[in-house]
Copies of this chain bind each other. A is one copy, B any other.
Amino acid sequence: MSSLRPVPTSPEAELSPELLVQLHELMVKARVLEERLIQMYKQGDGYFWIGGPGEEAFNVPLGLLIERGQGPQYDYCHFHYRNSGTLLAMGADPVDALRQMKNTATDPYSGGRNFVGHYSKREWNVVPVSSPIEVQYSMAPGTALAQKRAGGRGITIVTGGDAGTAEGDFATCMIWSSRPANPLPVLMIVTNNKWGISTSWAGQHGEKRIADRGKGFGIESKTIDGNDPEIAYREIKAAMEYVRTERKPFLLEALVSRLNGHSSASGANRATDEADCLQGFERRMEERGLLTRARMDELRAQYNTELQAAHRRIKDEPQPDPATITDHIFSEKDLVSEGRGDK
C-alpha cells in the first residue's frame, strides 16, 4: 500500500541495509517531531504535551509492519498516547501532529478537540486514541472478531503502558481473545518503561514479567528489548505472523525508555538516567559503516528545519469556531460500514 512498506523478510534473517537505513530515518524523524512538540509546549504553542520519545526503536518498526488500510482486511490499531513514531512510520505527515499540539481547526485527528498524540484516522483503521488508560484493550476484541469472521490476514493491534495493565481491561482483552469458542487475532503490546507517571513499577507489580500474565490463558507471549530496533522489528514481525496465520492472540512486552518524563505535567525535560535507543542504534550503524555521523547529523538538521518551518506555518492556522462544539455529536451516515468494502 504505502511506498514506505519494506519487502518482507523472514523473521530470522538479518535486516537489509536499506531497511536499517529506513528505520533510522524514521526514528530520527519521530524524535525530532517529539522535540519540536516539546518546544511548542515550552513556547506556549500548546497547553499540554505527551508523546513517545524513547520508544522509537519499537514504535517505528511497529508502524512499518502494520498492514495499513481500511476495513477488516487490514490491521486495526488501538493505540495509546505514545505512538507518534508508529504513525510516522505508517506514513503520517508530522505537520498534522503539530496542528493537534496547537489545537487548530485544521488538526485532522480531532479538529482541535483533543490532546496531541490522540490520533484518529479511519482511512488507516487507526481508532481514536483516548486519554483513559487501558480502555483500548476492552475494545480490541471487537475489531478482532470482525476480522476473524472476515477471513484474511488482518489483525488487531493494541498498545499501552506497563502501569495500565493493572486495570481490569487488560485482563478483559486476554479473556476475550483466548475464548476456546473463538480465539481472536489480537496482538497485545505493552511498552514497559517501568513507570506510571511518578509511580515505580517495582512496588506495584507482583509479576516478574507482564508477558507472564498471558501464560495462565495459554496465550503465547514474549518480553523483548524494545530499545533495539532490529530486535523489535524481527520480534514484532514474528508475533504478527503468528497472529495473522494462527488467528490467535499474542502478548508482546517491550522494555523501553521514557526519555522526557511522563508528559509536560512533569516538565518534559530530558532524563539522564534512561538509555537512548537512537543513540545506541546510531552507534551501531556507524560501526557497521551503514551511516556516517555526518549523514546522520545532516538528516536530523533537515528534519529540524522542516518542522521548525512547519511550526511557524501552522501557528497562524485558525482555531476552531466555538459554534462547532455541537458538530458531530451524531453521525448522519454509517461511515464505518460504508468504508468496510475491500479495496
Stretch among A24-32, A35-43, A108-116, A198-206 lining the B interface: A198-206
Which of B172, B181, B204, B215 contacts A204 (CB under 8 A)?
A: B181
Task: Using A168-B167, A168-B168, A171-B171 as known contacts, say yes or no to A204 and B179 having CB atoms under 8 A apart.
Answer: yes
Which of B174, B180, B215 contacts A212 (CB under 8 A)?
A: B215
How many copies of this chain? 2
- Interface residue A178 (Cβ < 8 Å from any Cβ of B): yes
CA–CA, A129 to B265, complex, Å?
Answer: 42
- Interface residue A45 (Cβ < 8 Å from any Cβ of B): no
CA–CA, A87 to B329, complex, Å?
Answer: 52
What per-residue 1/0 map shows which CB atoms of A61-97 lie under 8 Å from chain B? 0000000000000000000000000000000000000
Within the complex, the shortest CB–CB distance from A145 to chain B, in Å, comes to 14
Within the complex, the shortest CB–CB distance from A279 to chain B, in Å, comes to 31
Q: Assess the A203–B215 pair: CB atoms within 8 A.
A: no
Chain B's closest residue to A168 (CB) is: B168
Secondary structure at chain A's binding surface: helix, strand, loop or mixed? helix
Report B-chain residues with C-beta under 8 Å of the C-beta of A179: 203-206
Q: Report the 6 A-B pairs with minimum CB-CB distance, sorted nearest first.
A: A168-B168, A178-B206, A181-B203, A171-B171, A213-B216, A212-B216
Pull 16 A–B residue pairs with CB atoms less than 8 Å apart, ordered by A.
Answer: A166-B172, A168-B171, A168-B172, A171-B171, A175-B205, A179-B203, A179-B206, A180-B205, A181-B203, A183-B206, A207-B216, A208-B218, A212-B215, A213-B216, A215-B215, A216-B216
